[in-house]
Structure 1
Amino acid sequence: MSLYLTAILPPTPIAEEIDDIRKEISEKYRVYKALKPPVHVTLFRPVNIDDDIEKYLIQWLKPVCHLHNPFEQQLENYDSFNNHTVYIRAPKSALLQALQKNISAVFNKNKIDPPEVKGNTSFNPHVTVAYRDVSPEVFAGIWEEYKNKKFRRSFNVDKFTLLKHDGHRWNILKEFPLQKPEILQLF
């Protein structure tokens, strides 16, 4: 059994900038959990899958590439969940929602993390900068500092990524380039 995550990984310059923000928060507030995963926008939450299913999962996800063209993704400003998570918003576009819906359909169709599991149907795209080890008191300090800060970047989403956890860290298992075939005009 291994843990798998399907996500969009921003390009290196943006990922490094966001990682610097995560490190700044970690050092100042002594919260470190957000440093563990790579900077990402989750498309389907982490799921435990038997290792012998891995090759099938890759095959099941491949057709999703051909349903989508690359698209521009915005990242803008900070928001929060309850009293424990601070993140950068990744506003939903129709293209992002369609990609996420098609990836979720692959998992649900193949009975990986069935739809009745809480959290499977709600999609709130974001990049986490602090979570899990954030107490309500620490959250108040982080949120006070970041709630009015501006952050605005955009990048081209030309692939999605399947990551696998090796027990210590997340590793890229497979990248799926977005390449919707063009319709040929014969006449």
Structure 2
Amino acid sequence: FSILTNPSILKILYDGRMDFSALYHTYHIDLDPVLDLQLVDIRSRFARGDHGVASHERRLLWCFSYKQVRQNKDRFKNIHVLQSLGGCLEEHGCKSTSPKKHVDHETWLTRPLSSEYLEYAAHDVEIIHALYTHFIEAGYIQYPFLSLNLSQSKRYISIWNDAPPEQGNIYRSHPFLPLEIIDFIPINTTITCQGCSRNLSSSSF
């Protein structure tokens, strides 16, 4: 665990919530510093001009009906749909690695890991490195602003630091970026959400 616990080594992840939860609740390891590329992908939508009304609604239609999206434009304005690692790789046209592989995650905890699963894990590392390189070259990761990206990433991956996620809990496991990860509001007075149990500003309700 020396690399994971070394504060001078930046850990690059893609949707690191499950990774953080497993390490934190099992081994009491608090990953830091971290950069989550899933957040960089969301921020890149603004840089690419891909966060206009049409693009935003197109993403929402992956999860909601056309009627819901059209009738609730204001409510959905700050709702960001998360994208899988494979989908992100494809959308950004990152061709420096082969497409994302797939395995049966139901048997992921079986030990010892088969060669298929070891290759899958190694390929994920390759993909994340390729995506990280692509994001730097595209200017989506700019080091003068890296500290902001790191603080957002830490808020994001540690969102389940109170307890591991429960299967079927729609408030804590869903395809949307949780509120106040990117648009964080540092205030003293917060309200505890009865659904996700997070302490949020009143503007999130």
Tell me, yes or no, whether TM beats 0.5. Answer: no
Larger RCO (alpha carbons 8 Å, 6+ apart): 1
**TM tier, shorter chain?**
under 0.3
Higher helix share: 2
Higher strand share: 1
